[in-house]
Amino acid sequence: MIPRVGPGGSSFQGAGLYYLHDKDALTSERVAFTHTLNVHTDSADRALKVMAWTAMHQRELKQSAGVVATGRKLEKPVYTYSLAWAQDQSPSRDDMIAAAQDSLKALGMDDRQALLVAHSDTEHPHIHVILNRVHPEHGRAAPTSKDHLKLSKWAEGYEREHGGIRCHQRVNHNARRDRGQFVKNLNLTREEYDWVKQHRSLAPEAIREARSNRQAKDAQELKRAFTGRQNSLERDLRRDYAKPKANLERQIGTTEERIGKKGFFRAVVRKLTGAERRDQVSLKALKGSFQQIETRMEERRDALKQAYARDWEKMERRHAAERERDERLIERKRTEGSRGRAGEIARKSFRVRAGKDSARHSPAPPDRERMAQALSKAARKAEAEDGGKTREVSNKRLERAKRRAEGAKQSRNRPRSKGRDTGYERD
């Protein structure tokens, strides 16, 4: 179970356009089902309109309920989050609705108006919750403080009740939070999580190379997208301003031609009739309009370039975080591998301090050699007693040799210092 809180919003209509339709389309093929809570209608569109009306009349609801209108106005009444199951799980409609209701209780928002929208466009089943933070009776806004932590604790309990823990890192983080530690989980996207899961078993250099190739591909895609947006913007500018610019250029040319014609008698007539002054004023106005069009076009180009710069900076920050996360993964693998190798060497050489009960289960190499020498001695003795003929060593003699080896091993684990208690055993 993976809960993910979305950014707050101010438009229920905008939320409906996204969650109730396919991406970048007006179709709704990905919507598996919808369900309303605390709204007297089963229609998703009507429910969103009711929630929008409630949010817009928050002040009137507070006045009618006798609530003091303190604090600033609620700017983002739309609260959204999603609940996602694993790919091998197939919850029913009732299971998904019940999980959403339980999560709302964990958040303390089960009395708010909400719309549940289940999507079927991904391999993992998931459901979205669109909630109105404004209470339909007294108009108070639901607090969202520590909502991520509440959903994390709820998700851990949900997994314990439904088949066992799947996200062990979340259990570790919640346990550390209970001890008073500050833990912030890495907010990975589904695509990044799948990438880490696919590459975490590779060698360090292979991980770094794969990450470098992926980031180079991201940069190329961002540049390609910027080029496409640039071309689209230029087409829009030509469509919107090509004809006005052409008309202004033609009028400016005509006016300048009238002003530039030579002739003493013509100049005197134009000055006496005021035509010269009118043409000068008209030419100034035409040039001003032309300059305004150029300014608006440059502003739209600059806005696109600034958006591209922000996207590029955001991508660089994300890439730096990804590289740092990869280095932590590599370091964790290295330390875990060194600890595993050290533990294996210690187990084989019996360098781990142990008591007499645990020591007999893992003999050290000197004890093995001692046991082999005792068995070989017993075999030679049996061979000598039989006149040089080789025969099988009896089980009784083998057991006696093993007991001698065990006794030597237990004596090695006894305390050497006389000043210590006789009952002391190594940890």
Indicate the Cα dihedral angle 318, 319, 320, 323, nearest 10°: 120
- CA–CA dist 161, 155 (Å, integer): 10
What are the tokens at 207?
């991980």
Helices within 58-203 (DSSP H only)? 58-65, 93-107, 147-161, 168-178, 190-199
**Residue 24 DSSP one-character state:** T
Stretch 25-29: mean pLDDT: 83
350-367 pLDDT, tens digit each: 444 444 444 444 445 555
309-320 pLDDT, tens digit each: 999 998 998 898
pTM over 0.85: no
Compute the half-sphere exposure of residue 271: CA atoms within 13 Å on the CB side of its CA.
7
Q: Residue 426 CA to chain centroid, in angstroms? A: 47
163-191 pLDDT, tens digit each: 888 888 888 888 888 888 777 666 667 77
Backbone angles phi, psi at 260, to 5 degrees: -85, -10
Cα angle for residues 33, 38, 43 (degrees, 5° grid): 40
* pLDDT number for residue 187: 61
- Has residue 197 got a pLDDT over 70? yes
What are the tokens at 403?
């007991």
- Using CA atoms, how far residue 419 sits from 135, 423, 424, in Å, is 75, 12, 11
Are residues 411 and 359 in contact, defined by beta-carbon separation less than 8 angstroms?
no
Q: Which amino acid is at 303?
A: A
